[in-house]
Amino acid sequence: MARRTPPNESEPGRLPRAPYEKELRRLQIELVTFQEWVRAEGQRMVVVFEGRDAAGKGGAIKRVTARLNPRVVRTVALPVPTDRERTQWYFQRYVEQLPAAGEIVLLDRSWYNRAGVERVMGFCTEEEHQRFLRQCPVFERMLVEDGILLRKYWFSVSDAEQERRFRQRLSDPTRRWKISAMDLESITRWEAYSRAKDEMFAYTDTPEAPWYVVESDDKRAARINMIAHLLSTVPYGDVRLPELRLPPRPAPTGYQRPPKHLQTFVPDHSASLRAPDRGPAPDADPADGKGHR
**Which pLDDT score, from 0 to 100, does residue 180 have?**
85
CA-nearest of 200, 224, 223, 222 to 211 is: 200
Residues 242-291: tens digit of each pLDDT: 999 999 999 999 999 999 999 999 999 999 998 776 666 555 554 444 55
Q: Do the beta carbons of residue 55 and residue 156 sit within 8 Å? A: yes
pLDDT in tens, 120-172: 999 999 999 999 999 999 999 999 999 999 999 999 999 999 999 999 999 99
- Report, as an integer, the average pLDDT of 32-50: 98
Would you state the pLDDT for residue 207? 97
Please tell me the distance from the alpha carbon of residue 69 to that of residue 64, in angstroms, as a whole number. Answer: 11
The values of phi and psi at residue 214, to 5°, are -110, 115
Task: Return the H-helix or E-strand segment holding 214.
Answer: strand 211-215
Task: Return phi, psi of residue 234, to 5°.
Answer: -125, 125
What local confidence, expressed as pLDDT, does residue 2 receive?
38
- What does pLDDT average to over the chain? 91
Domain membership flag for residue 72: yes
pLDDT at 108 over 80: yes
The CATH number of the domain holding residue 41 is 3.40.50.300
Backbone angles phi, psi at 233, to 5 degrees: -90, -5
For residue 42, give its domain range: 17-233
Distance CA 76, CA 158 (A): 26
Largest Cα separation within the chain, whole Å, is 75
**Which run of H or E residues covers position 149?**
strand 149-156
- What is the distance between the alpha carbons of residues 168 and 165, in angstroms, rounded to a whole number? 5
In-domain check, residue 23: yes
Number of domains in the chain: 1
Kindly indicate the confidence band of residue 177, based on its pLDDT and cuts at 50, 70 and 90: confident
Position 174 in a domain: yes
Domain assignment present for 84: yes
Angle made by CA atoms 232, 238, 239, in degrees to the nearest 5: 135
227 CB-contact burial (10 Å; exposed 0-12 / middle 13-18 / buried 19+): buried
What are the beta bridge partners of residue 154? 50, 213
The predicted pLDDT at position 125 comes to 97
Residue 4 covered by a domain? no
In DSSP terms, 149 is beta-bridged to 45
In the prediction, which pLDDT does 215 show? 98
205-230: pLDDT as tens digits: 999 999 999 999 999 999 999 999 99
Q: Where are the alpha helices (DSSP H) in the chain?
A: 17-41, 57-65, 83-86, 92-95, 117-121, 126-145, 159-171, 181-188, 190-204, 219-232
pLDDT above 90 covers what percent of the chain?
Answer: 83
